[in-house]
Amino acid sequence: MTPIKPFGLVPGDRIGIIAPASSFEARGLKRGMNKLRWWGFEPIVPRGVLKHAKKPKENERKRRSEEKARLLVEMFMDPSINAIFCAEGGYGSIALIPHLEKVDLSPYPKIFVGFSDITILLLYFLEKYGWVTFHGPTVAQEIYKGMPPTTEIALQESITKRTRLGDIYGRDLTVIRPGEARGRVVGGNLTRLLRTLGTGFEIDTRDRILFLEEVDEGHMQIDGDLNHLRLAGKFENVKGVVFSEMSRCLSGRRKDMMTFLRRHFKNDNFPVLFGLPSGHGIENITIPFGIKARLTSEPPRLTLEESGVR
């Protein structure tokens, strides 16, 4: 199935902001909104979203998830909203799924941007509806705090450019296993995408390029997670794998991380690259999930062969 691309943004378009995961800093959200205005867009924050800046009490969590799901559904159905950005990652997005399952959002594809815990929703919309979704910065964190030029350009182009995105990072990655592959790119945070296994929106890696990112995890967790993916058959028909910088994993020892990955993938016959800064880290390059991409070891790059929007 060819994924459905949302319409690209133009100056003056309205960006709805939602908080599907954790609480967030309201001050950071407001400053991030100012950055979106500076880009020429109109950020829209429903009153209910601002309530979610504060951490809920334990007995409020179920109701909070229902409220967040309702606000998200309303944003998708609102014809005046052209895109939806997330306030922050954290945890809790998966609790929205049972409420989202009660509605049919298939007529309302829109740009949807986030990462980390938002991986759950990126994959839900991609696998359930066939929508292209966007693994990229959040408003109250990266957009508020300021982004390196490569991060800012990648986000802007991914949501506005209707032609081939090309080499989104522009620098060489590290080769774990050599080779060349083409396929649609999919993935996200390793811990979160594992939670799709056994669900109706389980990540499909067949004939795809799998992107994996993680932060602050040790050898035991990463080894267990990758073996879980392998036992679930997610490396059997994959075209290639590209890792993020795996920020602060294995105590931040990059050399140890590469040694570990070379050992894990030594018997595989697909290309594996390491070091694409998307997700946690200083840079957070936006990747539209569901579009065609090319992974090569000579040069070691991930190239997006089409646009993320129409």
The per-residue pLDDT for range 159-183, each reduced to its tens digit, is 999 999 999 999 999 999 999 999 9
Note the pLDDT of residue 265.
Answer: 98
Quick one: 133 and 201 in the same domain? no
Q: In whole angstroms, how far apart are CA 42 and each of 2, 38, 77, 155, 161?
A: 30, 9, 18, 16, 18
Note the pLDDT of residue 26.
Answer: 83
Q: What is the CATH number of the domain that holds 132?
A: 3.40.50.10740
Quick one: 141 and 226 in the same domain? no
Quick one: 109 and 212 in the same domain? no
Domain final residue, candidates 160, 180, 201: 160
Quick one: 69 and 195 in the same domain? no
* pLDDT tens digit sequence for 230-267: 999 999 999 999 999 999 999 999 999 999 999 999 99
30 assigned to some structural domain: yes
Note the pLDDT of residue 247.
Answer: 96
Residue 258: domain span: 166-304
Quick one: 297 and 173 in the same domain? yes
141 assigned to some structural domain: yes
Element counts in the chain: helices (H) and strands (E): 10, 14
Note the pLDDT of residue 145.
Answer: 82
Please state the domain count of the chain: 2
Residues of the chain where predicted confidence (pLDDT) is lower than 70: 53
Quick one: 125 and 218 in the same domain? no
Domain final residue, candidates 130, 160, 190: 160
Note the pLDDT of residue 142.
Answer: 87
- What's the maximum distance between 2 C-alpha atoms anywhere in the chain? 54
Note the pLDDT of residue 248.
Answer: 96
Note the pLDDT of residue 47.
Answer: 84
Measured CA to CA, the distance from residue 86 to residue 142 in angstroms comes to: 11
Quick one: 193 and 272 in the same domain? yes
Q: What is the sign of the dihedral through the CA atoms of 208, 6, 307 and 96?
A: negative
Quick one: 211 and 92 in the same domain? no
- Residue 240's H or E segment, with its range, is strand 240-243
Quick one: 139 and 99 in the same domain? yes
Contact 166, 296 (CB under 8 A): no
Quick one: 127 and 194 in the same domain? no
247 assigned to some structural domain: yes
Q: Which two tokens stand for residue 170?
A: 């522009």
Quick one: 138 and 183 in the same domain? no
7 assigned to some structural domain: no
188 assigned to some structural domain: yes
Q: What is the CATH number of the domain that holds 238?
A: 3.50.30.60
Domain final residue, candidates 160, 185, 213: 160
> Is 135 in a helix, a strand, or coil?
strand
Note the pLDDT of residue 58.
Answer: 75
2 assigned to some structural domain: no
Quick one: 144 and 184 in the same domain? no
